[in-house]
Structure 1
Amino acid sequence: MKKALLFVIFALLSLSVNAQFLNTGGDIDHERLNFGFLLGIDRGSFVVAKQSDFSIPGSNPYTPNDTLQAIKPLGSMGFSLGLLANLNLSKNFDLRFTPKFSFIDRQLEFEYNKASDRKVYNKKVESTFLELPLLLKFKSDRQRDVRMYIIGGIKFVTDIRSKKKKNDDSDFNPDDDRKLVKINNSFFAVEAGIGADIYLEYFKFSPEFKLSRSMTNVMKKGDDNLFTRPLAGLFAEAFHFTMYFE
């Protein structure tokens, strides 16, 4: 998947650089405000903060006879789609608002050493996010049909709470291994990345790579169960490959 994406990007760059004429991209650089849409492929994970006594036998009242050996974040793939509004501030700076829906899951692996065998629990943190990023884009000078750029900013993220999460509040006992690990419904995150504006005849195409991470602990407070007790905190992070069409 990654190799195919890189091949497409470099092929488009080569075609643009070697073109014998300059494309206008629909004269987009002469517009003060322009709009478009985006499609993205995302990979989400967590940065895990553990309790200092997470591996001490008996520290978790829900597993008094078991020893927790490790808590591992597992990355999962997802996708996103949305819109963009771009405000041209100057020759080299743009302000971008890119609201989008992001469908991405994150996973945690809990490895226990029981008296009789080894037990592994995989807990999927399911989320459908509405993300509202406000980003500052710094563009290089145009080289034929290509501009390179760096981008960064802050975004507000809110989770569209699922029925499954609501049922989890009351349906299961705290020591039930079906319990979920839940995150806050809303949080702020920072993100930064690089990309390229490729000017075609009637529009501009921009492949972009970004990293994002929540600014604070996103683990929901008040949940005390088999899987949340050994956790001191979770920080949501993601790698984004996004294609913009303006």
Structure 2
Amino acid sequence: MKHILLFVLFTLFGFSASAQFLNTAGDIDHERLNFGFLLGIDRASFTVVKQRDFSQPGSNPYTADTLQAIKPMGNMGFSLGLLANVKLDRHFDLRFTPKFSFVDRQLEYQYNKASDNKILLKQVESTFLELPLLLKFKSDRMNDVRLYVVGGVKFVTDIRSKKKKANDEVYNPDDDRKLVKINNSFVALEAGLGADIYLEYFKFSPELKLSHSINNVMKTGDDNIITHPLAGLFAEALHFTMYFE
């Protein structure tokens, strides 16, 4: 999926660079403050930090089987939101891009058990409100396109209903989704690259970006067959976002 997104992004770069310098996108470069909206495709996963003895026989008191591997399984989701862009100078912009993100993440546990050598843990689906504050560095305009890099920090909070969160807190040994609990809020770093493509009445900006939580997002205090081998989980995601300004 990552290679497909890269192909689409650089194809758009090449197409835009061949255009004539005709479009002003509604004279957007002359505005100190402008607004827009965004649509995104996200691939969410975890960075897994395992206990040192996770694969040693007898290290997990909740099972007699020996754990061989823990693998994060990336899942696709989508996001939508708004954009506020402040022009600082010729090459720098400050961007605030609040959005709703709909994702879930999975972990796969592989045991040496002959009859059932895999346990698939599906994390509860999440609905996040993400509040990124980003600094954008953009190149000089080449015909109808500018390339740019962007980076910053974002605050992420789970906005699922209180009832659904309460249901997820109830321990149920028959529901693997409830054996790992994630913090309701966390902070992450973001960095990426993109292109501003000037059209007649608006500016279109495809962007590819990575995000990674600063701290461990796994809730502490719950010890069970799934969490015992884990030292921590860090939320990560690959974002392909389309901005319309």
Calculate the TM-score normalised by the size of structure 2. Answer: 0.91
Q: Give runs of ≥4 in structure 1 deviating > 4 Å.
A: 1-12, 162-165, 175-178
Which segment is superposed worse, 67-76 or 84-93?
Answer: 67-76
Query: How far does the alpha carbon of each residue in 1:203-232 deviate from its partner, in whole angstroms, 9 at most, with x for none?
Result: 000000001100010001111111011100
| CA contact 1:44–1:76 (8 Å) conserved in 2 | yes
Letter in 1 for 2:141: R
User: Quick one: distance in 1 between partners of 2:3 and 2:126?
Assistant: 27
RMSD: 2.1
What residue in structure 1 maps to residue 58 of structure 2? 58
> Within 5 A, what are the aligned runs for 1:181-196?
181-196=180-195
Superposition deviation, residue 62 in structure 1: 1.4
Query: How far does the alpha carbon of each residue in 1:70-128 deviate from its partner, in whole angstroms, 9 at most, with x for none?
Result: 111111111110000000000100000000011111110011223x5243111122211
Superposition deviation, residue 55 in structure 1: 1.7
What residue in structure 2 maps to residue 122 of structure 1? 120
What residue in structure 1 maps to residue 33 of structure 2? 33
User: Quick one: distance in 2 between partners of 1:180 and 1:203?
Assistant: 47
| CA contact 2:121–2:176 (8 Å) conserved in 1 | no
What residue in structure 1 maps to residue 209 of structure 2? 210
Question: Do residues 138 (structure 1) and 137 (structure 2) align?
Answer: yes
What residue in structure 1 maps to residue 107 of structure 2? 108
What residue in structure 2 maps to residue 170 of structure 1? 170
Question: Given the superposition, is the C-alpha separation of residues 160 and 201 from structure 1 closer, same or farther in structure 2, using an over 3 Å criterion?
Answer: same
User: Quick one: distance in 1 between partners of 2:9 and 2:47?
Assistant: 30
| CA contact 1:111–1:118 (8 Å) conserved in 2 | no
Letter in 2 for 1:214: S
Question: Given the superposition, is the C-alpha separation of residues 57 and 179 from structure 1 closer, same or farther in structure 2, using an over 3 Å criterion?
Answer: farther
What residue in structure 1 maps to residue 45 of structure 2? 45
Superposition deviation, residue 13 in structure 1: 3.8
Calculate the TM-score normalised by the size of structure 1. Answer: 0.91
Letter in 1 for 2:120: N
User: Quick one: distance in 1 between partners of 2:176 and 2:240?
Assistant: 34
Letter in 2 for 1:54: F
Question: Given the superposition, is the C-alpha separation of residues 151 and 219 from structure 1 closer, same or farther in structure 2, using an over 3 Å criterion?
Answer: same
User: Quick one: distance in 2 between partners of 1:28 and 1:110?
Assistant: 51
User: Quick one: distance in 2 between partners of 1:176 and 1:97?
Assistant: 38
User: Quick one: distance in 2 between partners of 1:183 and 1:62?
Assistant: 21
User: Quick one: distance in 1 between partners of 2:141 and 2:119?
Assistant: 51
Query: How far does the alpha carbon of each residue in 1:133-159 deviate from its partner, in whole angstroms, 9 at most, with x for none?
Result: 000000001111100000000000111
User: Quick one: distance in 2 between partners of 1:9 and 1:172?
Assistant: 44
Query: How far does the alpha carbon of each residue in 1:166-201 deviate from its partner, in whole angstroms, 9 at most, with x for none?
Result: 22433425x875643121100000010000000000
| CA contact 2:171–2:178 (8 Å) conserved in 1 | no
Superposition deviation, residue 41 in structure 1: 0.6
User: Quick one: distance in 2 between partners of 1:59 and 1:5?
Assistant: 41
User: Quick one: distance in 1 between partners of 2:241 and 2:177?
Assistant: 34
Letter in 1 for 2:170: S
Superposition deviation, residue 19 in structure 1: 3.1
What residue in structure 2 maps to residue 78 of structure 1? 77
| CA contact 1:35–1:83 (8 Å) conserved in 2 | yes
Letter in 2 for 1:172: N
Letter in 2 for 1:94: D
Letter in 2 for 1:26: G
Question: Given the superposition, is the C-alpha separation of residues 224 and 29 from structure 1 closer, same or farther in structure 2, using an over 3 Å criterion?
Answer: same
Please, which runs of 5 or more residues in structure 1 have no aligned partner? none
